[in-house]
Structures are given as structure tokens and as C-alpha cells.
Structure 1
Amino acid sequence: MNKDDIFIVVPAYNEEKMITKTLKNLKKYGYKNIVVVDDGSKDKTYELAKQEDVIVCRHIINRGLGGALGTGIKTALLYNPKVIVTFDADGQHHPEDIEKVVKPIFEGYDFVIGSRMLDKNELKNMPLVKRIGNFGLNFITYFMGGYFVSDSQSGLRTFSYEAAKKIIDDLKSDRYEVSSEFIILAKKHNLKIKEVPIKTIYTDYSMSRGTNVITGFKILFKLIAQRIF
């Protein structure tokens, strides 16, 4: 596996506490092609990312996770990578898991999701409220026309170059509903999809980020609106 063929997209909003550590960890594992999208942060996320010798895009205003991932994936596609990886900025992912989600792409899969739910020991570490919320969003994703997967909201995913091009052309989501829309669009385009088990680093900081019950309802309403309009 040639890591030069891999581009990693890191969406970041007010991540000054973790962005430097996250980027240094990625580079420590040999990943040089990193695209950070500062999504209108009000702290020093942009300045700190610029210091790490990575590609940094900046939104003047906060557009949301979907907007940041859209910008990051479009930017990565300009470099014609074989694989595009999305990777959260808050330190919850292990860089060593990137190889797990990249390998199936070279085996013929189009879209791979790193699942926190496939490893029983890892599942025990996930807070109960997260498990319940995740199952609900998995069902919503399937109901709205996607594949049924065990971890629809995972931030660690990979796309082949061709799959990323197909999905980005149709992507409508600006915010957290993007995670479900990726899977819905994968089904629409008949992409070959696979899940692999990954680990998660749960900290008070990472637990304060991401989705909650209110966000879950917002995701449902946004996905319904996309279907109607």
C-alpha cells in the first residue's frame, strides 16, 4: 500500500485543542497528503493547521460537517488520489485504523466504513446513549434509501476516486446528515460497500462533539426534505 496514493480529509470546527495532535499523529504514521477544512472556526484552528505543512481550506462562515467534507473531498479529487479518507479532527480515531479501511478499496470495494459496532469489546466501551442513537440513525439511513450498516455515523470512511466523484456530484447535505447521505448515495450508485471494525478513543472532549438526540431529529428532517425537494 503506497500512502502517497491516499488523501485524508479532516473537517475541523473550533478544534484548536486537538488539531495539532491529530495532524502530527497522521504524519507520524506516514500520511503526508492531508486536507484540513477549517469550517469557519472562531479559534486558532486555521493558524495551527497551517503550521503543520498540510493543505488547508477555509470557510469564511460555518457551513457544517457536510459543507466541510464536500470542500475537502473536492479539493482532494484535484490531486487524482486512488483513495480518499475522511478522518475526524477531535482525536477519536486511531491513525493505525486507516490501513484497515483503505485495504478493501484496493480489493475492489468502492466505499468502506470504519465501524465502532463490529468489535464486541469496542462496543462495550461505547456509551449506551451513543449506541441507542446510532442504531436509530442506522435505521433512518436504511429507511431513507441507503444500505443498512452497523455504524452509519462513523467519521472514518474511505472512497475510491471514482466513488468519490459520483457521490460528490450529488451531495446536498451541509451538516451532520451528510454521514447518512453518503450511504444513501452509495446505494443509489450501486457502489460496492464494506464495513470493517475500528477502535475509538472516548474522552470527555470527543464525547462533547458529534451527534446527540436533537441532532438525530435534525438529520431525519433534513433527509426527508432532500427526498421531497
Structure 2
Amino acid sequence: MEDKKRALGIVIPYYNAEAHIGIVIAKALQHSYNIVIVNDNSPQPLPENLMGLTGIEVLTTPKNLGVGGATKMGFAHFLKNKNIKVILKLDADDQMDTKYIPEMVQAVLAEECHFIKGNRFRDLNSLKTMPGLRRFGNLWLSFLSKAATGYWNCFDFNNGFLAVSTKTLNFIDLDLLSNNYYFETSLISNLYYQRAIIKEIPMPAIYGNEKSNMKLYKMPMHFTVNLIKSFFQRIWKAYFVYDFNIGTIYILFGTILFSGGLIFGIHNWYYYSIREIPAPTGTIMISVLSVILGFQLLLQAVQFDIFKTPNKS
């Protein structure tokens, strides 16, 4: 137990959580001797009684970076310490049940996985406490995140309760990770290129009367744009830069046939419709067969991509 406490570094990004940070720190100290609070230029100052506590360090960002930027500062701090084997992110709003920390740390130390995170969608009873809009948003974005990151076996990508091996994190350029609420998904996207094994642990969703700093009305568009960008970056790197395999063939010919057949069909539909004459059967069949064959190849590409999901085997 003592060795695990010394091997674990806990990063707590802090912003306007004055009412909860004391409770979170008290819980965190039960699991680690190495805790870093990253004050992200919060208007609400850290309580003075936390200063000088044994095992607590406070870092301050030069300006408000966002939850991702603050977390990255904490990660970089612990990566300099060779005694730290696992880094865990814990939010300051007391929405994360710290009783799961030992299980998460043990899984990483035992090399069952390189990265472990919570999944709030496995507990149906506690899931009912999650606000409806947030639940729908997480469901939709989690599906898109599967395609964007390549981790088809994961869910609840926006869960910020996570732990990662420092050995794995050392291979990731922290500057490439998002500074905002897209941080967790961007981290998982980069773990894919390391073929890192990800494990999920079911845990309840905890929501009290705390005020979220997230502007929910902006999140769907923000996440969707970033997920589309991450998807195309991953496909390009995974199938055309770092590797060239049967999946590349599926994608290449599937895209050409599907888009080519679609464009050919639309062009001929317009050409013959304005002349009010029926299109030749052969012309129609060329378009239809190209679209069908292209679609089948793209489905094969998806199946191959799912098969390539990093796993223990």
C-alpha cells in the first residue's frame, strides 16, 4: 500500500471549486503522497489551509488554459519524477468517487492496461441522476469518439476520471493534446498510435449542486468538429503513413467507387432529366453497382478497423 502511494501522482486541475477542493484533497491524501493542484487562474482562490500540507504542491498556470491545459501542466510535472509510475487525474468538484483509485492504480501497475478510465454508462440506476441533456450528448459523442479514436471497445470518452502509465505517457507529445474539455478524447486519440491498452471501470455518475464551468450549448458543435478532424487524422496516419494494409485498399477503392458512382449518377440524372428523356439502363447500373460495391468496401474497412482495436491479445 505504501509503495503504491509513492508510485502514484494525482493531478487536480482547479478552477472555481472552492467549496469542494478541501474534501477532494482529504480523499486524495488517503491514496497518494504526491498531489499536485494546478490553479488555472481561478477567480476563486485556493483555501489558505491547503497551503503547506505535506504531499501537496500547488502550480499556477500563467493564464487560464482550460482543464486540459492545467492537467497537462500537472502531467509534465510528474513526468520529471522517476519514482512516479502512474498519474491519475482527479477533478476538484468532488464528482469522482475516490474509492476506485486503488483498483485503477493496481490495473496499471500490474500492466493489465496502459490507461484506465471510468465509465458512467454501466450503472443504469445512478445514470438516471445524470442531467438528460448531458446524458444524450455523452451517448452521441461517445459513438463518434469510437470512430475518431479507433477504440471501438470504449465508451464515455469524456469521463475525466483516468489514470495512465508514465511509461506510456512519455511517448506522447503533450503539446498535441487539447487544452479544453476535448482533452480526454485527444489523449485517447494519441494513445492509439502507441497501441496502448485501455481498460474501463464501471462507476456511478455523481452530480450535486456544483456549478459546471462547461458551456453545454457550445459543446456539441465543438466536439463534433474536433472528432471529425481527429477521425481523418487517424485514418491518414494509421492507414497511409504508419502502415499500408488491406484496410487501406478497402478505404481507397471504397471511397473512389462510392463517391465516383454517386457523382456519376447525379450528373447523369441531371443530364437526362433536363432533356426529359430516360437514362439508359446501362448508365443507371454503372452508378448503382459502383455505389453498392463502394459501400460494401467501406463497410469492410469499418470491420477491419474494429478488428484492429488495441487489446491485450
TM-score (norm 1): 0.88
Q: Which has the larger radius of gyration?
A: 2
Q: Is the 8 A contact 1:10 1:86 kept in 2?
A: yes
Please say if 1:152 is aligned against 2:157.
yes
Aligned partners of 2:77 and 2:85: how far apart in 1?
Answer: 14
SS in 2 for 1:166: coil
In percent, how many aligned pairs have the same letter?
30
In the alignment, is the contact (CA less than 8 A) between 2:130 and 2:206 conserved in 1? no
Checking the alignment, whether the CA contact within 8 Å between 1:133 and 1:213 is kept in structure 2 is: no
Residue of structure 2 equivalent to 1:214: 218
Determine which of 152, 171, 175 is the counterpart of 2:176: 171
Could you say what secondary structure the match of 1:71 adopts? helix
**Contact between 1:83 and 1:102, CA under 8 Å: does it hold in 2?**
yes
Structure richer in strand, relative to its length:
1
How well do the aligned residues superpose, as a CA RMSD in angstroms?
A: 2.2
| Superposed counterparts of 1:1-229, under 5 Å | 1=1, 2-27=4-29, 29-45=30-46, 47=48, 49-53=50-54, 54-80=56-82, 81-108=84-111, 109-148=113-152, 149-169=154-174, 171-205=176-210, 208-210=212-214, 212-224=216-228
Q: Identify unmatched segments of 5+ residues in structure 2.
A: 234-313
> Which 5+ residue runs of structure 1 have no aligned equivalent?
none
CA distance in 1, matches of 2:115, 2:158: 14
Q: Is the 8 A contact 2:72 2:174 kept in 1?
A: no
TM-score under structure 2 length normalisation: 0.66
Distance 2:64 2:86 in 1: 27
Shift in Å, 1:170? 5.7
Partner AA of 2:37 in structure 1: V
Equivalent position amino acid for 2:28 in 1: L
Contact 2:146 2:155 in 1 (8 A): no
Relative distance call for 1:213 and 1:176 in structure 2 (3 A) is same
1:23 touches 1:52 (CA, 8 Å); kept in 2?
Answer: no
Rounded Cα–Cα distance in structure 2 between residues aligned with 1:162 and 1:86: 16
Measure, in 2, the Cα distance between the counterparts of 1:199 and 1:210: 20
